[in-house]
Amino acid sequence: MRAPADAVSRVETLRRQIHHHNYRYYVLDEPEIPDAEYDRLMRELQAIEAQYPELVTADSPTQRVGAEPLDAFAEVVHRVPMLSLENALDEAEMRAFDRRVRERLQSEAITYVGEPKLDGLAISLTYEEGVLRQAATRGDGRRGEDVTAQVRTIRSVPLRLEEEDWPALLEVRGEVFLPKAGFEAINARARDEGGKTFANPRNAAAGSLRQLDPRITAERPLDMFCYGFGAVEGGALADTQRGSLALIKRWGLRISPELKVLEGVDDCIGYHREIAARRDTLDYDIDGVVFKVNGLADQEALGFVSRAPRWAIAFKFPPQEEVTRLLDIQVQVGRTGALTPVARLEPVQVAGVSVTNATLHNGDEIRRKDIRIGDTVIVRRAGDVIPQVVGVIKERRPSDAREFEMPTRCPVCGSEVVRVEGEAASRCTGGLFCPAQRKETIKHFASRRALDIEGLGEELVEQLVDRGLVKDPADLYALTHEQIAGLERMGGKSAENLLTALERSSSTTFARFIYALGIREVGETNARALAAHFKTLEALVSVRKNDLVIPERGIEGIGSKKAKAIVDFFFDHPNLSVEGEFADWICGLQLRPKLNRRNCVAIADRFETLDGLRAATAEDLRYEKDVGVVEGIGATIADQIVGFFAEPHNREVISKLVDPEHAGIHWAETKTEAAVPTDHPFVGKTIVITGTLSRPRERIKEELQALGAKVTVSISKKTDYLLAGEDPGSKLDKARALGVRVLSEEELATLLDRS
């Protein structure tokens, strides 16, 4: 059948578009459209080419694996090409894959291994005689880029393999990715600094890895899970995929903690469901599950088609990014007056949920991304994070698209809107005069993690504020039965319940009370730390900046390396005595790194005697500015806290809140203090946490801290315990080498129970 003219021209258009998007994606790391949209273009092209094979050309994007590598990195020719995967989009396609495999292998049931498909970028690691020699990106599959210097900064990639039984030449392949938390942190920082944000963790991972300056890469918390192999010479792997991955795990590489051996396709489908259900709780973005035939001989027998192995498949999840139209931009006023532009969208299904609103963060962000009302935009929804507009498809901009302007007056109260220097947000200056800020303040005060006033929901707060019954949180406690019962949808019973809830809320904890005040930048963790530190409301209310941050500490010119060298030196040499002048004597010590004369004089002046110096900790030595006194609270938050309590109106509300004649809010002596038995085994102990645990690490950390333990990140001689979860990595080895006691999660639970 001859191809009709419209098919010919459609094929050309599609190729041009796909080529353009390949370049944006692979070379610039700046995709313009979501993967789902790209896949649609590709599938359409494949479908037309399948119908009219004479239209297939050698340079059609369907015939290639990827795109050109960047010029700036040295080129690497892969010893074994890096392939891609065939996709299955639903159960039927997954079953069809399994049927093909069984037919080819003439087998009843196949053993597969399943693991999440990470949304990062593929990297090949070459180890020669156990030493990492090269790391390369996939590039076009045959030639990639040399990113050895960058990959060496990834903590979980061993520079030298463990054990001795590895092949002399071993190429391991895996996915480099950025955990979600790291992605959010990098974007939040970029937004604060007015820099470029990344659309999703994959772009952020690619952008971080393809930094010509590896020092920038080192600042990004990249990680890598390995899932396969390239060239293997002078040694062998196991007979199975699972066995071979177990080997590389033993050699010190990370593999997916979710890896599972599965019998037959039904098992695979069950596993796919299970991982889909847990997708949001994983620390990293995944876009499906990869299934591989477990037997390596079977893999070999199955072989490859042009760009993908016949023994593996990616069973995808619904995409987390979709395309829709931006109908309008409205402005919301938050608790602290910050104006947030919110996108009103033509409803679109993203990963199974209908999305109609998405945050646009702030005015700068809209300008930087050049988002206009009427545009076709890319919306991303991942887990419980608020949906975001991550970009625009400019090619589809209508001629009447309108630019957004941040209002100069608050849309709720009409007060002036200002931009504070160095801040990205525009703010309403109305304070508690602004009904929006007032409502948000009260909602926050009543919320579950704050004073937890049951039944005081959004709708009720709206009414209370609109009718002028409540101006600040203290007014809540002066409400009468009559006033509440007079509100819409509030019968006598509901009024009674609310009064009981208010009464109950007045007995709380100091930490909750601090959090409920809604001090800018002070979240629950900060509130807990403040409660533990200040212990009484009087002390907190009269806080000064110097109580929260020490302007300078340590000795100028001493960084963390030198500080550590000094502390370690005196630990290793307990029987020294000073000869001659103190500063000269210090200069004569075998310290590495060596201290210059100025450092030695400064140390001698500060500590005066050997005993004084011996007692110094690394913190006493290392030079730091604006050192926080309370865990997690630095100069910026300190300013907010001090500013909040300096405000007479805030002090007034606080007085009313704790006045027994008024709201009568009270709490027992700071819980954290009272709850810590001084003889608890963890009091004063330093604990490091590593590996994958059954509960969020942050929660375990808080529990340990509440028991008086200090939780730090790196293992040293001073570490008392290492709490090791699944796949603990290098920390476990270090702990063993230093004789640090290692606890499993169960052992920890037993210790916690006993106390």
Catalogue the active-site residues.
Answer: 117
Q: How far is Cα 93 from Cα 88, in angstroms, rounded to an integer?
A: 5
Residue with smaller CB distance to ligand IVH, 267 or 626? 267
| Binding of ligand IVH by 290 (CB under 6 A) | yes
Residue with smaller CB distance to ligand IVH, 170 or 549? 170
264 and 734 Cβ atoms separated by less than 8 Å: no
Name residue 538's amino acid.
E
Kindly state the DSSP code that residue 146 receives in the 8-state scheme.
B
| Binding of ligand IVH by 175 (CB under 6 A) | yes
686: nearest Cα among 709, 717, 714, 713: 709
**In the bound complex, what is the minimum distance in angstroms from residue 122's beta carbon to ligand IVH?**
3
Tell me which stretch binds ligand IVH (CB under 6 A): 82-90, 188-196, 569-577, 632-640: 82-90
**252 conformational bin, left if phi > 0, alpha if psi -120 to 50, beta if neither:** left
Residue with smaller CB distance to ligand IVH, 137 or 441? 137
SS3 breakdown of the chain: % helix, strand, coil, rounded to 5? Answer: 40, 20, 40
| Binding of ligand IVH by 85 (CB under 6 A) | yes
Residue with smaller CB distance to ligand IVH, 309 or 337? 309
Between vectors from CA 703 to CA 700 and to CA 704, what angle results, nearest 5°? 90
Q: Which of residues 123-142 bind ligand IVH (CB under 6 A)?
A: 138
**In the bound complex, what is the minimum distance in angstroms from residue 55's beta carbon to ligand IVH?**
25
Q: How far is Cα 152 from Cα 175, in angstroms, rounded to an integer?
A: 14
**In the bound complex, what is the minimum distance in angstroms from residue 84's beta carbon to ligand IVH?**
4
**In the bound complex, what is the minimum distance in angstroms from residue 167's beta carbon to ligand IVH?**
19
For 234-296, what is the HEC assignment? CCCCCCEHHHHHHHHHHCCCCECCCCEEEEHHHHHHHHHHHHHHHHHHCCCCEEEEEEEECEH
Tell me which stretch binds ligand IVH (CB under 6 A): 260-268, 307-315, 471-479, 729-737: 307-315
**In the bound complex, what is the minimum distance in angstroms from residue 174's beta carbon to ligand IVH?**
8
Burial of 579 (0-12, 13-18, 19+ CB in 10 A): exposed
**In the bound complex, what is the minimum distance in angstroms from residue 222's beta carbon to ligand IVH?**
14
| Binding of ligand IVH by 122 (CB under 6 A) | yes
Tell me which stretch binds ligand IVH (CB under 6 A): 241-249, 306-314, 596-604, 635-643: 306-314
Please report, in angstroms and rounded to a whole number, the separation of the first and last CA atoms in the chain: 80
CB-closest chain residue to ligand IVH: 122
**In the bound complex, what is the minimum distance in angstroms from residue 206's beta carbon to ligand IVH?**
11
533 and 546 Cβ atoms separated by less than 8 Å: no
Number of residues that bind ligand IVH (CB under 6 A): 15
Tell me which stretch binds ligand IVH (CB under 6 A): 4-12, 116-124, 497-505, 646-654: 116-124
Tell me which stretch binds ligand IVH (CB under 6 A): 113-121, 561-569, 642-650, 703-711: 113-121
Binding mask 597-636 for ligand IVH (x = CB under 6 A): ----------------------------------------
**Going by C-beta distance under 8 Å and a sequence separation of 6 or more, which residues neighbour residue 6?**
none
Residues in the chain: 755
Tell me which stretch binds ligand IVH (CB under 6 A): 67-75, 77-85, 234-242, 293-301: 77-85
**In the bound complex, what is the minimum distance in angstroms from residue 526's beta carbon to ligand IVH?**
37
Burial of 364 (0-12, 13-18, 19+ CB in 10 A): middle
| Binding of ligand IVH by 171 (CB under 6 A) | no
Among 84, 330, 447, 686, binds ligand IVH (CB under 6 A): 84
Residue with smaller CB distance to ligand IVH, 26 or 445? 26
| Binding of ligand IVH by 309 (CB under 6 A) | yes
Phi, psi of 199 (to 5 degrees): -70, -35
**In the bound complex, what is the minimum distance in angstroms from residue 141's beta carbon to ligand IVH?**
9
**In the bound complex, what is the minimum distance in angstroms from residue 188's beta carbon to ligand IVH?**
26
| Binding of ligand IVH by 314 (CB under 6 A) | yes
Q: Which of residues 200-239 bind ligand IVH (CB under 6 A)?
A: 227-228
Q: Which of residues 520-539 bind ligand IVH (CB under 6 A)?
A: none
**In the bound complex, what is the minimum distance in angstroms from residue 209's beta carbon to ligand IVH?**
12
Q: How far is Cα 37 from Cα 29, in angstroms, rounded to an integer?
A: 16
| Binding of ligand IVH by 25 (CB under 6 A) | no
Residue with smaller CB distance to ligand IVH, 154 or 638? 154
Residue with smaller CB distance to ligand IVH, 230 or 363? 230
Among 15, 78, 117, 254, binds ligand IVH (CB under 6 A): 117
Among 312, 366, 529, 723, binds ligand IVH (CB under 6 A): 312
The CA-based dihedral angle spanning residues 241, 243, 249, 251, taken in that order and rounded to the nearest 10 degrees: -110
Kindly state the DSSP code that residue 63 receives in the 8-state scheme.
G
DSSP letter for each residue of 596-661: PHHHHHHHHHHH-SHHHHHT--HHHHS-EEEEESSTT--HHHHHHHHHHHH-HHHHHHHHHHH-TT
- For β-strands 710-712 and 666-667, DSSP reports them as unpaired
Residue with smaller CB distance to ligand IVH, 34 or 228? 228
Between vectors from CA 126 to CA 121 and to CA 130, what angle results, nearest 5°? 130
CA distances for 577 relative to 221, 585, 601, 612, angstroms: 44, 9, 18, 13
Residue with smaller CB distance to ligand IVH, 67 or 312? 312
Tell me which stretch binds ligand IVH (CB under 6 A): 34-42, 232-240, 262-270, 309-317: 309-317
Determine the 3-state secondary structure of 321 from DSSP.
strand
Tell me which stretch binds ligand IVH (CB under 6 A): 117-125, 337-345, 379-387, 670-678: 117-125
Determine the 3-state secondary structure of 233 from DSSP.
strand
Alpha carbon 93 to chain centroid distance? 33
Residue with smaller CB distance to ligand IVH, 144 or 228? 228
216, containing H or E segment: helix 214-219
Report the interface residues with ligand IVH, using CB under 6 A: 83-85, 115, 117-118, 122, 138, 175, 227-228, 290, 309, 312, 314
